[in-house]
Amino acid sequence: FSFTLISGTLISISSTSWFGAWMGLEINLLSFIPLMTNTKNTLSTEASLKYFLIQALASSILLFSVILMHLNDMTLLLNQHLFLILISSSLLLKMGAAPFHFWFPGTMEGLSWMNCLILMTWQKIAPFMLLSYAVMMNSFTALIITCSIIIGSLGGLNQTSLRKLMAYSSINHLGWMLAALVSGENMWMLYFSIYSFLSTSIIFLFQSFQLYHINQNFLMKLNPSLKFCLFFLLLSLGGLPPFLGFLPKWLIIQAFVNINNLFLVIVMVITTLITLFYYLRLTFAAFLFTYQETKWIEWMTFNPLTYFILLCSTTLSSLGLL
């Protein structure tokens, strides 16, 4: 199913018509659902059903909008902007952007870490590419960006589940990516690449130690080397200078200052501080509570490959402005 999952995305982004793009999205959807249900527990079945219903609804709206747009081209009865908003809404619902995010944290909660990673990264590529054809900077886009970054930051504050916390983090970063999309064609690709890299590293760490909640004992007992990896990666994901995650945020803020959109800049900066708070809360759980380590040499007893990958990704994440 992984091959058809990748193929569906490639068909969507390389299609020359909206119908071909819709077909690629459907292939992608029908490939991801079997991957979601491979863990054989009740939560993953519920998550896959919820995901299917939402994606089917979004696909129906997309197809309906495209058919109406083609009919309108022949009759010229309605404003073209209405169809672009409908198409944008269906793609935003597919990605889980606020205020269409209601399904996203609940679905993430029922998935394994690897499926969460696919949902947070790969599943956003095709809708984002299609959105880049339809979206433009107007009051609707500004509302979506503002809602996503505010809900993504405030929603993560009261979460103890790491998967829900990463879901709200993803919604927040989705708002930033939309801002990148309207400020420059290729800037969102840079942001998405860095976000995907940092999310993969963090989820790899969570998966290696089977961490699912902030208050798990495993998190408290991680050795010091991995705690520093987690600390650096979360600060980078939060966009703290001079880490790697700061670079795309700085470019986006610069672009919005240049077009005098200061309201969005202020909202972005404030919400970034809030997201940094819940990332730091996660690292405080690892560093400060039930501190038991006496020697640093303990890390040698773990899998060397895990350490090598995590140390490489941590080093890259700390090279933001070089």
Domain layout of the chain by residue ranges: 2-317
User: How confident is residue 98, by pLDDT bands cut at 50, 70 and 90?
Assistant: confident
Q: Give 76-81 contacts, CB < 8 A, sequence gap 24+.
A: 81/138
Per-residue model confidence (pLDDT) at position 76: 61
Helices (H), 209-261: 217-220, 224-238, 246-258
Per-residue model confidence (pLDDT) at position 165: 93
User: How confident is residue 217, by pLDDT bands cut at 50, 70 and 90?
Assistant: low
Rounded to an integer, the average pLDDT of 197-202 is: 91
The crossing angle, in degrees rounded to 10, of helices 80-95 and 139-155 is 20
pLDDT tens, residue by residue, 59-77: 999 999 888 888 876 666 5
Report whether pLDDT(219) > 70.
no
Rounded to an integer, the average pLDDT of 179-197 is: 89
User: How confident is residue 269, by pLDDT bands cut at 50, 70 and 90?
Assistant: very high
Rounded to an integer, the average pLDDT of 7-24 is: 92
Average pLDDT for the chain: 85
Per-residue model confidence (pLDDT) at position 134: 81
User: How confident is residue 6, by pLDDT bands cut at 50, 70 and 90?
Assistant: very high
Report whether pLDDT(200) > 70.
yes
Report whether pLDDT(244) > 60.
yes
Report whether pLDDT(297) > 60.
no
240 phi and psi, to 5 degrees?
Answer: -85, 130
DSSP helix/strand/coil, 185? coil
Report whether pLDDT(263) > 70.
yes
Helices (H), the chain: 2-14, 18-36, 42-75, 80-95, 104-109, 113-120, 122-134, 139-155, 162-183, 187-208, 217-220, 224-238, 246-258, 262-287, 304-317
User: How confident is residue 209, by pLDDT bands cut at 50, 70 and 90?
Assistant: confident
Per-residue model confidence (pLDDT) at position 128: 92
